[in-house]
Structure 1
Amino acid sequence: MSEPTAAGVKAGLTARLGPAREREVVCANPTGLHRVAYTEWGDPDNPRVLVCVHGLTRSGRDFDRVAAALGDVYRVVCPDIAGRGRSDWLPDPNRYLVPQYVADMVTLIARLDVEQVDWFGTSMGGLIGMTLAGLPGSPVRKLLVNDIGPHIEPEALRRIGSYVGQSVPFATLDEGIAYAASLASTFGPLTADEWREINTPLIEQREDGTWAFRYDPAIAVPFNATTPEAGAAGEAALWRLFAAIEGPVLVVRGEQSDLLSRETVARMIECGRSVQSVEIPGVGHAPAFLDPEQIAVARRFFVEDASES
């Protein structure tokens, strides 16, 4: 059987779930307002909502195939976090931090008009999810965290810091797609068409005809300004929040991940209330969830486990 193409995936999504609805919600920051864009799939009246949140420099369109697989059960909502994709850039780059993102997601969930959501968070999206899920009265019912935990390995932070925030021009869209693929090579052995599928939304053409990443380079400002003391305090707070999460949690780890260690996963299982884990072979940080076997992991956790309980 041949691999699905990007065009085939989009056609299948539209046939199965109807056209994607590109929407936005206005959120607050200390100096004003900003728009957070999101893509929504499935029945807009479905009270069962799955929020899928991407990694540091990615976009909500990373989850198109997850939406295709789970849209029969969920209304699937995939935001572009502030400073990325179709969302506004923040006026103060020092606000590119998890507390601002959590506040934005609370506003988004209020816009969706539901009492509870399930959450699929990759990397940064998992940090946002853990923080929100650990708060008293959280709307998060079930949480999948994809290759992230309260402790992040220093080697991975150095790797990410070596490229985040660099404004790199590309002569063509294909050059940009290839460069983005080189940065995300640890996602796994993706085909050229899969890279095109998930990387095209990350890149836009500028007025001078060149191409560039759509994210605000200033997202690197707080990332690079973090001191060891601040990092340690943030990690301690995340462990407390993680221990407070009441609902089921699935921790997904890429077998070759340099960001989430097996030791951290073991500690998450030990300190959490209802935590299980899965390791995805042959990939690093972070599993892309384009492969049917990876998507089946999410479906079992969100859909089949619930039907058996």
Structure 2
Amino acid sequence: MTQPSLNHVNCLDAAGGHRMAYWQWGQPESSHVVVCVHGLSRQGRDFDVLAQALCEQAGMSAQGPGGIRVICPDIAGRGESDWLKDPMGYQVPAYVADILALLAQLHAASPITTLDWVGTSMGGLIGMAVCGQPGLPLPVPVRRLVLNDVGPAIEWQAILRIGAYLGESGNFNTVQEAADAMWTVSQGFGPHTPEQWLALSRPMLKPVSQAAGSPLRLHYDPAIAVPFKLATEASAREGEAMLWQLYDNITARTLLIRGALSDLLSPETARAMTGRGPHARLIEFEGIGHVPTLIAKDQVAAVTEFLLA
């Protein structure tokens, strides 16, 4: 497997700033950029399989000699990115500001003429905020948008389920022990081979200390749970109106992916998304809950065909 390059962008915040890491695949000079943004407690290496498929297929298609540039950020507090001094910064508006800084840096390095977005869960909410605010200083408008198992209305029971484990960083002796523990809260991801699950789990871990043989912990700042756990059912319902307004403003051609067993994106919300705003095209994957990992061949094919058609 080829490996992505690790890069950073400096981002502003009220506490003096932070660095956001991002993984870059493909041709660094390509004018076609696909930004892939992960879920709440995940990180950018979740998209390794999809990014490789996009790079390979763009090279074989009529994309021209520039190929494609796939950018997979570690949103603040996750992966290789800095932890924030103020936990209340772990919210979508701040993430959008970081993405704008990232896109400005990418555009300055090599001008962007085609911009696409793949957002899983939280990454889809960030995508709706980026695409649904026409006045944002994007290099170019987002052309195609993939929303992976998320919409403007989020089921409260799913929020409670996620909140039950979010912020627990764990202490594991081996990668396999950690992978087994993560699987207990991730079975909605659907079937994976042991090799696939280990590959998905490794980037989720960091040593507790620099000492040889140090135990492992999850990669993220436990404080990402602070604003999440302040949400109430009433505040979640109030936020829906704003999210629907953002969704209705989207002009990008939109693909909505749903796990047929998802407890976060209801069938009713998914159907509503096909009939308003960008009139998303809906694809459901049987036997999958929240959230499809975009590793299975049929899931990868759905996204690559949509983005590279």
Question: Which residues of structure 1 form unaligned runs of 5+?
Answer: 1-9, 305-309
Query: Retained in 1: the 8 A contact 2:156–2:233?
Result: no
Q: Residues of 1 paired with 2:31 and 2:113: CA distance?
A: 8
Aligned pairs (5 A) from 1:89-100: 89-100=83-94
Could you list the per-position Cα deviations for residues 165-194 of structure 1 after superposition, in whole angstroms to 9, with x for gaps in the alignment? 113211222211211222211111101111
Q: 1:307 corresponds to which residue?
A: none
DSSP 3-state at the match of 1:58:
coil
Residue 298 (structure 1) aligned with residue 303 (structure 2): yes
Offset of residue 137 of structure 1: 4.2
CA positional deviation for 1:59: 0.9
Q: 1:67 aligns with which of 45, 51, 64?
A: 51
**3-state SS of 2:275 partner:** helix
**Equivalent residue runs for 1:44-59 within 5 Å:** 44-59=28-43
8 Å Cα contact 1:50-1:76 kept in structure 2: yes
Amino acid at match of 1:262: P
How far apart are the structure 1 equivalents of 2:4 and 2:215? Answer: 28
Other structure's SS at 1:271 match: coil
Q: Name the structure 1 match of 2:14.
A: 30
Alignment of 1:38-187 (within 5 A): 38-72=22-56, 73=58, 74-113=68-107, 114=112, 116-137=114-135, 139-187=141-189
1:249 to 241, 254, 262: 254
Gaps of 5+ in 2: 59-67
1:205-242 CA-to-partner distances (Å, cap 9, x unmatched) read 11262211010000000000113343222211000000
Shift of 1:269: 1.4
Tell me the TM-score normalised to structure 1 length: 0.90
The TM-score, its normalising length taken from structure 2, stands at: 0.90
Q: Matched residue of 2:9: which SS?
A: strand
Cα RMSD of the aligned pairs, angstroms, is 1.3
The answer to whether the Cα contact below 8 Å between 2:169 and 2:220 also exists between their aligned partners in 1 is no
Matched, 1:206 2:211: no
Q: The residue matched to 1:135 in structure 2 has which SS?
A: coil
Moved over 3 A (4+): none
Superposed CA offset, 1:17-37 (max 9, x none): xx4211010101111111110
Does the alignment pair 1:265 with 2:270? yes
Q: Which moves more between the two structures, 273-282 or 216-225?
A: 273-282
Residues in 2 aligned to 1:176 and 1:205: alpha-carbon distance in whole angstroms: 12
Number of residues paired by the alignment? 288
**3-state SS, counterpart of residue 155 of structure 1:** helix
